[in-house]
Amino acid sequence: MTLTQFITGLKSTLPALGPVGLFLSAFLDSSFIPMPLVTDLIVIEFSSRHPLLMPVYAGLAALGSLIGSIWIYLLARRGGQAYYEKKRGRMKGKIHAWVERYPLTSVLLPAIAPFPVPFKPFVVAQGVFQVPFLAFVVGTFVGRGCLFFFEGYLGARYGMAAKQFLLQQKWASAAIILGLVIIFVLIAQLSNHRRKNQPRTD
């Protein structure tokens, strides 16, 4: 059995397992087996069937995603720092400085971003650049929780039509997230500029 066949089998099997399958889908996708949109679509499907349980589904998906991400984060934190020190360049230095200054934001924004914004490469970067573990856990759980809660709300409110909405608006969501990142960077730069130009008082 090839990896593609295995993943295809998971896509059809996991929803049949109910909440356990939802948790496993989020865990596997965030750790070692890429399954884009599978968890998102399961959240929408389950929430459309049982709207009152939507917060439970969103919470399970966020928890599974967090636990799966922790494995990647720890591996990158252990093995990536040596590579970073060896290959450190100007851009890597800027990224490292950004992560050190805004650790929670550097985790939260990628975690809340919907498909097609890739999530796992950011998790690897957070491990490599030594994001504090508490900031990683809180930012990942809050960000993924917000994302899945929003998708669950769409499922509970609009039923299975929310699936088409999720698939059709993906680039618009990516553009919105990118815009928020740019705005945050500009605000941070403006704040730094004002602080540097502020006259000192003795």
pLDDT of residue 136: 93
pTM as predicted? 0.78
pLDDT of residue 106: 79
Integer Cα distance of 90 and 107 in angstroms: 21
pLDDT of residue 163: 82
Rg (CA), the chain: 19
Integer Cα distance of 51 and 42 in angstroms: 13
pLDDT of residue 166: 75
Contacts of 94 (CB under 8 A, 6+ apart): none
pLDDT of residue 118: 78
Residue bearing tokens 């709207």: 51
pLDDT of residue 171: 62
Integer Cα distance of 202 and 192 in angstroms: 21
Integer Cα distance of 185 and 109 in angstroms: 12
Contacts of 22 (CB under 8 A, 6+ apart): 14, 15, 39, 42, 43, 46, 57, 60, 61, 64
Low-confidence ranges of the chain (pLDDT < 70): 1, 3, 80-98, 169-202
- Rounded to the nearest angstrom, the gap between the alpha carbon of residue 56 and the centroid of all alpha carbons in its chain is 19
* Of the candidates 97, 105, 106, 109, the residue with the CA atom closest to the CA atom of residue 179: 109
State in Å, rounded, how far the first CA of the chain is from the last one: 73
What are the boundaries of each domain within the chain? 3-170
Integer Cα distance of 187 and 68 in angstroms: 33
pLDDT of residue 41: 92
pLDDT of residue 91: 46
Residue bearing tokens 């966020």: 62
* Residue 129: DSSP 8-state: T
